[in-house]
Amino acid sequence: MNQKRIIALFFIASIGIIVFSNIAYTNNNGRQGNTASPGENACNQCHNSNVLNSGGGSVSISSPNMPNWMYFPGTTYTIEVKVKKSGLGKFGFGFEALLPSGANGGLIQTANSVNSKTLSAIVLGNSRTNAVHKQPNHFSADSLTFTFDWIAPVAGTGNITFYAAGNATNSANNASGDFVYTTNQLVTEASTVAIRNDYNENKVSIYPNPTTEFITLKLPQIIDNEPTTMQIFDLDGRLVHNQIVNNSNNNSIGINFLKEGIYLVHLQNADWTYQQKIIVSK
């Protein structure tokens, strides 16, 4: 009787190990704290059959509504992490946005994401928010892009670094034979002052504010004939207007196509940048 019980318990334990293995590797919802950021390993701590960043694959970070990797405080940006490896069809990832101190920089949101979710990890005394893949939406031939939102922090926060690790797996239900890739991206806070000191006596101004149908740009006379790009973003970080402005004292720009709301006007040329919020009222 005891022998039968021992055999039965052994059989149940074996089933449990198999199920756990499948959960760990096949149904894995992503694991936090493995982005290769300071103080962390990458996914290759377990998926270690191949050398890190080998085999011709890659992981990349992009944002369709963040030009030049420059963020405006409080703005929501779409973040895309793409894991790529030809011949494979199951992918995972981890992502963090960190200050130089190792604490969170901004806020990661995955509520509207199809294939991403958030988890937290305590690393070097900081509770770090991670975006990671979720089951079962991490299958695709040759590559997969994970999409979620990042809300930029308050003004004066400064530089932030994005870290990402991607796992391209062979769907073998174990950790062997997979390829792990890492990357990072520096993101800078948009400046609101001219770079060159000799512009100080020729300050930039944008008026009237609030406005209804037009804005006038007053640019520093000292910039001569250098081309200046004017871009207008909504508070979701979407580019709604883009043009080159001349360097006369006054530029009148029609904005009656804009809906009522708050917008960010961004001016930039080779030597300086300037940003100002405007209010459009109808």
CATH code, 28-189: 2.60.40.4060
Q: Give the Cβ contact number of residue 108 at 10 Å.
A: 21
Q: Cβ contacts of residue 1 below 8 Å, gap of 6+? A: none
Helix (H) or strand (E) holding 122: strand 116-123
Query: Whole-angstrom Cα distance, residue 99 to residue 238?
Result: 24
Query: Whole-angstrom Cα distance, residue 148 to residue 117?
Result: 8
Between residues 236 and 96, which one has the greater pLDDT? Answer: 96
Question: What global pTM score does this model have?
Answer: 0.65
Q: Where are the domains of the chain?
A: 28-189, 197-280
152-161 pLDDT per residue, tens: 998 889 999 9
What pLDDT shows up at residue 146? 97
Same fold across 28-189 and 197-280: yes
Q: What is the mean pLDDT of the chain?
A: 82
38-93 pLDDT per residue, tens: 999 887 777 777 999 999 999 999 998 887 788 888 889 999 999 999 999 999 99
Class in CATH terms, 197-280 = mainly beta
Query: Whole-angstrom Cα distance, residue 67 to residue 238?
Result: 10
